[in-house]
Structure 1
Amino acid sequence: MFRTRIVVAIAAATLTAVTASHDATAGPGIQPVAAAVPRFDHIVMVMFENKNYSSINGSSSAPYFNSLATQGAKFSQSFAITHPSQPNYIAIFSGSTQGVTDDRCPINLGSKTNLASQLTGAGKTFKGYSEAMPSDGYTGCSSGTYRRKHNSWVDFSNVPASSNLRYSRFPSDYTQLPTVSFVTPDMCHDMHDCPIGTGDTWLKNHLDGYVQWAKTHNSLLIVTFDEDCGTPVNQIFTVFVGAHVKPGTYSKRIDHYTVLRTIEASYDLPGINNAANRSPIVDGWQ
């Protein structure tokens, strides 16, 4: 009996010490990182435009989107933050709309903390790839079918120009990808100005190679939308596919901040801004 009490006391003291150490590392007021999110070698996120969940889910116009849903984790209760486009792109990159309420350009947000600055601070890498952007490091508001309002990383002075790349620079050797990549198709391929089928075909032609590679190379693809077509509900189609993903449909309510928080958790990063108030996705992994 005496020996049992000693063992229990030692176990309790050890648990207390580990918890205190974790909390001290996380910092005051910061949500502890969930160990259940796999640590991926690479995460690629692709954002499409202005479609209701019901317009993509099960649609014959989006066979590849729905194929990804059967291969991965589909989130049937996924929501954008607001309308119009630009504040949603800023939200998923920095955990806040930063007070932006419209699509005006240019937006300059200075050195506020964002996913890229978090990753860099942790010794990881970030790059954004924008289709139809005329040159690497471009800061103009528009060119052809490129729009800066869909490129949130260019708004932050602490994200170097070398991280703001044309989509043509997306590597065919996926081992050369940065830790986290954001991909923005042009105004046609993101479905803003063209039909759903156009975006569906673009996604298959440009990212399916990465999807199949990711499954056996500890990597992940996230596909989501900035917002729905303007309704108050703002429900969007979101799917995760790649290594460690447990295929299925998940009904937990998530939003752009949840997606950001999940990416952060993969690299033991604290949640920033509103992402700190979200729990990372932990039930879609195997």
Structure 2
Amino acid sequence: MPRSGRRAQRAAVLGTALAAALAVLAVAALAVGVSSAAPAGPDSAGAVSLAAAAPPRVPAGVPSLEHVIVVVMENKNADVATDPRSCPYTAQLAATWVRFADSHAIAHPSQPNYLALWAGSTLGVDGNSCPAHGAPFNAENLGHALEAAGRTWRAYCEDLPAVGSTACKARGGLYARKHAPWANFKNLDHANERPYSDLAKDIASQRLPGLAFVIPNNCHNTHDCSVSAGDAWLAAELPAMISAVGNRGLVVLTWDEDDRSEDNLILTVFAGQALRPVTVSQRHITHYTVLRTLCDGLGLAPFGAAATESPITDVWLHGIPPADPKKP
């Protein structure tokens, strides 16, 4: 065969081999891409279990949040709070958004848990005295940190007798200061402590603060009334809150403590359009973990025990637009 013919034949063979190799590489790349993009499968309840997700996602941190509302209920363990027979709304809420299956309070009784969530420490308080033992405090807390950062906050308490009231109890015990930790601090603006009715007004006038704490009264938080009464209150009130925080916001529903067990297992739910819906997180969290996550989302330096916690980063939809720095 002439030399030019042999060169043509070798070129044809090499071309065929190269095409085959490229085809193999393309198939391999496609397989890897499909594997890495495959979503985590649902568990038996239809929720995505983050502990079982494969392959693991690389967390992108807590997104910048424009509005956060924290609602604190009372004295029930997680199983009671999500029993669909007595708490159908709460059970559905937990199944719809992000439920933390290993969430724990810090202490017993109530007051130290509220302080832990607000200030990253129980501040040595181990009871429900009013005022809290050692108060007024000057320790760092969410209210002071937000004011220093030029951001807004308010605490909305049902049956609070007046703005900034220092009363220990009111309305026949429906309001209890032990559930209002901000009342025990001297380094924040007590004009931000408002009756619950002001929340609806602030939402309607588009003046929702950057952070809002909502404290139902001692019936609606299930302290003195049935879990069904608390569930009915949540069903009536939470939808408006979830809508109000928008697609760059968060509603936290949590319990101060359980029914005085040693395990202190409570229900904590994150709700809002910034989250991956129908998700169950198996991560062990406490009030300090939630506080750390709030600090990161609100752009605050973490403080107290929250400073040594890792924020919750694997439950967010990271494609949400960044928060508007001009918002409260």
TM-score by length of 1: 0.85
State the distance in 2 between where 1:168 and 1:111 align. 29
Q: Does 1:233 align with 2:263?
A: yes
The equivalences for 1:170-185 within 5 A come to 170=199, 171-173=202-204, 175-185=206-216
The equivalences for 1:35-184 within 5 A come to 36-107=61-132, 108-144=135-171, 145-170=174-199, 171-173=202-204, 175-184=206-215
State the distance in 1 between where 2:234 and 2:227 align. 11
* Partner residue, 1:200: 231
* Partner residue, 2:298: 267
State the distance in 2 between where 1:280 and 1:174 align. 32
Q: How many residues in Structure 1 have an aligned counterpart in Structure 2?
A: 252
> Is the CA contact 1:136–1:165 (under 8 Å) kept in the aligned structure 2?
yes
State the distance in 2 between where 1:60 and 1:222 align. 23
Q: Secondary structure at the match of 1:203?
A: helix
Offset, 1:129: 0.6
> Is the CA contact 1:174–1:210 (under 8 Å) kept in the aligned structure 2?
no
Offset, 1:69: 1.3
Q: Supply the AA of the counterpart residue of 2:187.
A: N
**1:64-111 per-position Cα deviation (integer Å, ceiling 9, x unaligned):** 112211221000000000000000000000000000000000122332
Distance 1:129 1:252, change over 3 A: same
State the distance in 2 between where 1:213 and 1:123 align. 21
> Is the CA contact 1:39–1:266 (under 8 Å) kept in the aligned structure 2?
yes
> Is the CA contact 2:203–2:244 (under 8 Å) kept in the aligned structure 1?
no
Aligned-residue sequence identity (percent) comes to 38
Offset, 1:213: 4.2
Offset, 1:174: 6.9
Distance 1:193 1:110, change over 3 A: same
State the distance in 2 between where 1:125 and 1:222 align. 18
State the distance in 1 between where 2:274 and 2:96 align. 11
> Is the CA contact 2:75–2:260 (under 8 Å) kept in the aligned structure 1?
yes
> Is the CA contact 1:35–1:265 (under 8 Å) kept in the aligned structure 2?
no
State the distance in 1 between where 2:118 and 2:313 align. 20
> Is the CA contact 1:128–1:183 (under 8 Å) kept in the aligned structure 2?
yes
* Partner residue, 1:16: none
> Is the CA contact 2:164–2:194 (under 8 Å) kept in the aligned structure 1?
yes
Structure 1 runs (4+) deviating above 3 angstroms are none
Q: Supply the AA of the counterpart residue of 2:297.
A: S
Q: Supply the AA of the counterpart residue of 2:79.
A: S
The equivalences for 1:243-258 within 5 A come to 243-247=273-277, 248-258=279-289
Can you give the 5+ residue segments of structure 1 that lack an aligned partner in the other structure?
1-33
State the distance in 2 between where 1:130 and 1:68 align. 22
State the distance in 1 between where 2:96 and 2:65 align. 18
State the distance in 2 between where 1:99 and 1:174 align. 40
Provide the alpha-carbon RMSD of the alignment.
1.4
Q: Supply the AA of the counterpart residue of 2:276.
A: K
State the distance in 2 between where 1:178 and 1:172 align. 9
> Is the CA contact 2:82–2:88 (under 8 Å) kept in the aligned structure 1?
no
> Is the CA contact 1:223–1:239 (under 8 Å) kept in the aligned structure 2?
yes
Between stretches 227-236 and 199-208, larger displacement belongs to: 199-208
Offset, 1:267: 2.3
TM-score by length of 2: 0.74
Can you give the 5+ residue segments of structure 2 that lack an aligned partner in the other structure?
1-58, 318-328
State the distance in 1 between where 2:295 and 2:108 align. 24
Asked which structure has the greater CA Rg, the reply is 2
Alignment equivalent of 1:282, drawn from 309, 313, 319: 313
